Structure 1
Amino acid sequence: MLYIIGLGLADERDVSVKGLEIIRQAERVYLEAYTAVLLVDQQQLESYYGRSLIIADREMVESRSDEILAGAHEKDVAFLVVGDPFSATTHTDLALRCRQHDPPIRTRTLPNASILTAVGATGLSLYSFGQTVSMVFFTESWRPASFYDRVGENAELGLHTLVLLDIKVKEPDLKAMARGKIVYEPPRFMTVAQCASQMLEVEEDRQQGVCGKERLAVGVARLGSEDERIVAGTLEELAGADLGAPLHSLVLCGRKMHEMEWEYVREFAVDREKFDRVWRAEYAGKG
């Protein structure tokens, strides 16, 4: 059987008791390491789990999944995913390959905490979130703005938008590849400030008010850990905010933000007086 096990958001202790029991008895244990990362390193995980871990990078999962599934129709294999397997990160394709395998491989999923639910720590109601969008690192020649239309659709309905921020793990250096060498760039993790700045940049081009400077937003970092950070303010304020180490996410507040949500979120505001002023002018009574 292939067990797809969610590890939660913070450290080695977030795994469920059921998940830990399976990890300790499985024939092989893979750690998916390209869509998200825990706040602890591989050695700390291995020490707590009492097992060695095989790192499953993007190339292995997408192109060499047969290595992961080998023998899984007879023995137990564990595939570990940061967060929840089928929430912010989806591994439906891997599960489908198990169905199509000859002979078929049984699967079992063990869920865990996800950013999609943990973001409720901001005080914003999970019932009031619309489509989740992703923000990638802009480059000199590539500034994709497809997120803007999805945020706009949420905004029309007065809904909050969770923005998942880009991470780059084991990304090949294109210049080195052109010289025939395989070299990987250092890991990079987008910050709330970078995300807010890119949203403002696209707003300057589109001019529809979807991501304006005075739009209220909430930045989060390391949710579920002992040093989690939550900072609220306008997009302009968050573009200058420092929330420290990864992982970061951002929520753009919908116009229907309820008074109870405002009362909770304002405690995290960079400038509480300004936050209150903007909320009363642009959000209060819109629900």
Structure 2
Amino acid sequence: MLTFIGLGLFDKTDVSEKGLRHIRAADCIYLESYTSRLAGTSREELEAWYGKPVTPLFREYVEQHPDELLAEAQEKDVVFLCAGDPMVSTTHADLRMRAAARGIRTAIVHAASISSAVCGLSGLQNYRFGKSCSLPFPQKNWFPTTPLDVILQNLSLRLHTLVYLDIQGERFMTVPEAVALLEQMAAERQAQIPLYVGIARAGSDEPFVRAGTAETIQSVDFGPPLHILVIPAELHDMEREYLEMFAGL
């Protein structure tokens, strides 16, 4: 059996009791380590919490070479752990489909996701979010502009945009870095992004939320990861008041 278990937003204690029960009963524990991270803990702490070894998995293994994991799941009780909710990522949905195609039983234990947490932290209403996008670090001779296309399309429809920030190994994109990249794209397109909302360490005891113009946000120290960015559309009165009260707008 293969069970997908969400670990929540920040540290080892965010997992549900149901999830923890499945983990401690499992024969094999895998931890997906590329779409997101639990910034408030480490693999070693998780192993101590679970009382069992945890094997980290990276993108190439999960997307291209999951045969060993799936073979184990045919004979053993295997759990696949990830930060947030398991099925927010399409790569996890694909893995579940591969398992089902082999006749492997699967299950999901859901958990808090950043896609819902941003609504509580920012006050932006969840039904007003459009398509989300990911903002990667530019590479040599490669500067993707698709995120700006998504943002501008959402703004034209009066919809907010959730922007996932890149993780490369131990390098985590910050909110100010993300804003600088988007401002560069917008300038080249003669477009404007009027407002940003940056969020850091969602799920921790002291999350940090700040709203403002590009100039304002780029001058703010958001502290340690993980960071995420929201581009709001035209605000409702309640959304604006919430941002004024809790995000320094």
TM-score class, shorter: over 0.9
Higher relative contact order (CA 8 A, sep 6+): 2
Query: Is 1:208 aligned with 2:191?
Result: yes
Map 1:1-287 → 2, pairs under 5 A: 1-39=1-39, 40-88=41-89, 90-101=91-102, 104-120=103-119, 121-169=121-169, 187-209=170-192, 211=193, 215-255=194-234, 257-270=235-248, 275=249
1:83–1:89 contact (8 Å) kept in structure 2: no
In structure 1, what is the Cα distance between the partners aligned to 2:243 and 2:23? 38
CA displacement 1:45-101 (0-9 Å, x = unmatched):
111111110111222212321111123223210010111111156411111111222
* Normalised TM-score (structure 1): 0.83
* RMSD between aligned residues: 1.4
Q: Between Structure 1 and Structure 2, how many residues are aligned?
A: 247
* 5+ long unaligned stretches in structure 2: none
Q: Distance in 2 between matches of 1:263 and 1:5?
A: 36
Q: Evaluate the alpha carbon distance shift between residue 62 and residue 135 of structure 1 in structure 2; reply closer, same or farther with a 3 A threshold.
A: same
Shift of the alpha carbon at 1:154? Answer: 0.6
Moved over 4 A (4+): none
CA-CA distance at 1:160 after TM superposition: 0.9
Between the aligned residues of both structures, percent identity stands at 45
What residue ranges of structure 1 are gaps of 5+ in the alignment? 170-186, 276-287
Q: 2:130 touches 2:161 (CA, 8 Å); kept in 1?
A: yes
* Range 24-33 or range 236-245, more displaced: 236-245
CA change 1:31–1:18 in 2 (3 A) is same
User: Whose Rg is larger?
Assistant: 1
Is the contact between residue 195 and residue 239 of structure 1 (CA under 8 Å) also seen in structure 2?
Answer: no
Counterparts of 1:221 and 1:106, CA distance in 2 = 37
Equivalent residue of 1:204, what SS? helix
Preserved contact between residue 5 and residue 109 of structure 2 (Cα < 8 Å): yes
Following the alignment from structure 2 to structure 1, what is the Cα–Cα distance between the partners of residues 109 and 16? Answer: 8
- Tell me the amino acid that sits aligned with residue 45 of structure 2: Q
1:102-143 Cα shifts (integer Å, max 9, x gaps): xx1010011111111000121111111111011111234221
Contact persistence 1:193–1:241 (CA under 8 A): yes
Give the Cα–Cα distance (whole angstroms) in 1 for the partners of residues 180 and 68 of structure 2. Answer: 41
Instruction: Please report the TM-score for the alignment, with normalisation by the length of structure 2.
Output: 0.95
Partner of 1:284: none
CA contact (8 A) 2:122 2:247 kept: no
